[in-house]
A and B are shown apart, each in its own frame.
Chain A
Amino acid sequence: MSIEISLHKTHRRHTDGKEIIEVEGKTVGECLKNLINKYPPLDKEIFKNGKLHSLIEVYLNGASAYPNELTKPVKDGDKISLVYMLSSG
């Protein structure tokens, strides 16, 4: 069972520039945990105080996974996108 996680540019410095990381998991939360097992510095980028960082948006197969993003079930071939908020104008 393989899930693709697409990382925002901000986070790719922890993955040697790789945008797409393949992981396994049955929920979005499990996939993110497995992503962090591969790339531990991503932990503090994606989570804050044990919760999903408020500046991160999670999209599952191109649609917002909000709310309760981490408990959303995933299946083989699903795509998770992590997007970081932009604030400038």
Chain B
Amino acid sequence: MLSQEELARYDRQIMIPEIGREGQERLKKAKVFVAGAGGLGSPASVYLAAAGIGCIRIADHDVVDPSNLNRQILHWHGDIGDPKVKSAFDKLSKFNPDIKIEIISETIDENNVDAMTDGFDAIVDAMDNFPTRYVLNKTAVKKNIPFFHGAVRGLEGRAMTIIPGKTACLRCMYHGTPPAEKSPVLGATPSIIAAIQVTEVIKYFVGMGDLLADRLLIYDGMNMTFKEFKLKKNPECDHCGKKIIAVKC
């Protein structure tokens, strides 16, 4: 049941006919795991909190560095040196005190990912590396948790939505592992991709619109274009198909 304060707070999105009070109630009951509190995780967490997602759990092992501040909008100058999840908790709990914010200051790996995601209804990919993305993808598929992928570089980004058992997973599309590197990125790029990821999360919980499933959306900020490519589930996929194998990352 939404309180009078919540009805006032979420009025503008409750006015969206496809959301209404019922959709807002669903968002309130939703539990979303955000993997990373960096460039994608910062705006994703802000928009999830703004939308009234009832419980947001954020995991990140890192501390705030000055070079983060061009894009990681949850972290401010005074947070330099603090754990990113502490900085995220401080901002988000003040931004929306009606929702639950949980934080985990650990590196996500194959040993702890099950416990981290237990009881959660969605996983937002806000990682900066592919080994961990593959760990999350495999967990999402195994536990039947929708997975909302995003990645960026420079003025370019991409997003797709994975509904386990129904649509192509990350591994149906990606087969390599880019080397770890310090990538260039314009601050606005991850905000655009995170906003798309959160839009997808909200659509999923409310049950509205067409999800970005079996579709890869590529944003090119330099030319200001969006391209879409069709994907299909790979029956031989080593995460979601016949060839399921243990992936050591």
Contacts and interface: CB of A to CB of B under 8 A. Distances in A.
Interface residues of A, number: 18
Interface in A58-89: 59, 62-64, 66-67, 81, 83, 85-89
A7 to B, nearest CB: 12
Interface in A18-57: 53-55, 57
Interface residues of B, number: 41
Interface stretch (B24-32, B82-90, B104-112, B224-232): B224-232
Contacts of B181: 87
B129 A86 contact: no
Contacts of A55: 176, 178
A88 B230 contact: no
B178 A85 contact: yes
Interface string B163-191: 00000000011111110010101000010
Given A64-B232, A81-B229, A89 B38 contact: yes
Contacts of B127: 89
Given A86-B152, A87-B153, A89-B40, A63 B230 contact: yes
B151 A87 contact: yes
B230 A89 contact: no
Given A88-B153, A89-B127, A64 B230 contact: yes
A9 interface: yes
B36 A9 contact: no
Given A9-B222, A54-B175, A54-B176, A89 B231 contact: no
B151 to A, nearest CB: 4
Interface of A: 9, 53-55, 57, 59, 62-64, 66-67, 81, 83, 85-89
Given A81-B229, A87-B129, A89-B152, 10 more contacts: A54-B175, A63-B230, A64-B230, A86-B152, A86-B158, A88-B151, A89-B39, A89-B40, A89-B41, A89-B150
11 contacts: A57-B173, A57-B174, A62-B229, A63-B232, A64-B230, A66-B172, A86-B178, A87-B130, A87-B183, A88-B153, A89-B125
